[in-house]
Amino acid sequence: MKKGILIAIEGIDGSGKSAIAKELVDFLNAVGYDAILLKEPSDSIYGEKIRKSAQRLPPEEELDLFLRDREIDVRERILPALEKGKVIVMDRYYYSNIAYQSARGIDAERIRSLNEKFAPKPDLVIILDVSPETALRRIKRRGKLTAFESRDYLEKVRKNFLKLADERTVVVNAEKGLEEVKKDVFAIVKQLLDSYGSRGG
């Protein structure tokens, strides 16, 4: 591969993103790719502020923090890794930004435009689709809910994710068990990587 590949794993809270993203990186490294896992929000001062806020920040302030955090992530981690030819698996990327912040009333296309001014477009976006009911059941099993996790809000966010589906996007049924979802995701990613290989990079 002449350049790296950027894959984003997206979906509402409780869809299994973090588990699938980690398993995918392990799988890719095992079959010979140089793959890394990156998570957003990152560990920057802006990402920390997002994670540590006990209540939701005002929508515009929240969006600004996500953008500032992502600018650092792109500059310091994403672009250097792509230049080295790595496969980057993102546990959330700017599609989450669009889905979550537009559910609070900010224009989705404005959010996309602000992100795409500096953030490279992913080669593949996998949206793990799950109902809010299933998601909340899983979230409750792992601990207390955050300010991002109410049924009505997650329903809006889920609809927004599905609206974002385009030629870069594959929607995967994440209601199934982890092993089945893993198989689906691995097959989709392998198809992408094989297509890059057949094009010579």
Report the SS3 class of residue 176. Answer: coil
**Annotated domain spans of the chain:** 5-198
Low-confidence stretches of the chain (pLDDT beneath 50): 1-2, 198-201
What DSSP designation does 86 have? P
Specify the pLDDT at position 183: 96
CATH of domain 5-198: 3.40.50.300
Specify the pLDDT at position 170: 97
What SS3 string covers 45-83?
HHHHHHHHCCCCCCHHHHHHHHHHHHHHHHHHHHHHHHH
Specify the pLDDT at position 199: 42
